[in-house]
Amino acid sequence: MKRIIIDREQCDGCLNCNVACISAHQEGSNFYTVNLGSADSQSRNFIKFDPKTGYTPIFCRHCDEPECVLSCMSGAMQKDPVSGHVSYDEAKCAACYMCVMNCPFGVLTPDRQTRTKVIRCDFCEDQPDGPSCVRACPKQAIEVKEVSR
């Protein structure tokens, strides 16, 4: 199964991964035309900074036993047994945010615009070149790797 792997030591906090993620999920935009001021400009990944440890990229890990799936009462969060990726069905979501509260990495967030859905990594499943964050990282701190279970 494929997972996004982060080399924290390579991250310089440029936020290209954030912009690429927003662009990939904002209809009609690309990396250069993305409207960062738009209400729908939410990234599915984060870069935290600590003066002692530096930059820490925070990405969905599509966990082996994902707490978001285990705590989802409506069945909106599902883990694909083949790919290992966690998927989200917005139509089933009850906006209870149990998944947000139970994600041990703090990756999932409510959408800022309507507060009726969850913003989470979809592994850019609809893009043939894979996750946009990986392609946008100039330091190659983010990559997709095949991992065993």
In this structure, are residues 124 and 130 in contact, taking their beta carbons and an 8 Å threshold?
yes
Q: What is the pLDDT of residues 55-95, one digit of tens each?
A: 999 999 899 999 999 999 999 999 999 999 999 999 999 99
Is 3's pLDDT higher than 80?
yes
Q: Is residue 143's pLDDT more than 90?
A: yes
- How many CA atoms are closer than 13 Å to the CA of 87, on its beta-carbon side? 12
Q: Which CATH class is domain 62-120?
A: alpha beta
| CATH fold match for the domains 1-59+121-149 and 62-120 | yes
Nearest to 46 by CA among 62, 35, 57: 57
pLDDT for residue 149 is more than 70: no
Q: What is the pLDDT of residue 88?
A: 96
**Residue 122: predicted pLDDT:** 93
Domain ranges of the chain: 1-59+121-149, 62-120
How many angstroms separate the CA atoms of 124 and 9, rounded? 24
The confidence band for 45, taking pLDDT boundaries of 50, 70 and 90, is very high
What value does the mean pLDDT of the chain take?
Answer: 92
Q: State the pTM of this model.
A: 0.87
Number of helical (H) and strand (E) elements in the chain, helices listed first: 4, 8
* 7 vs 56: CA distance, rounded Å: 9
CATH number of 1-59+121-149: 3.30.70.20
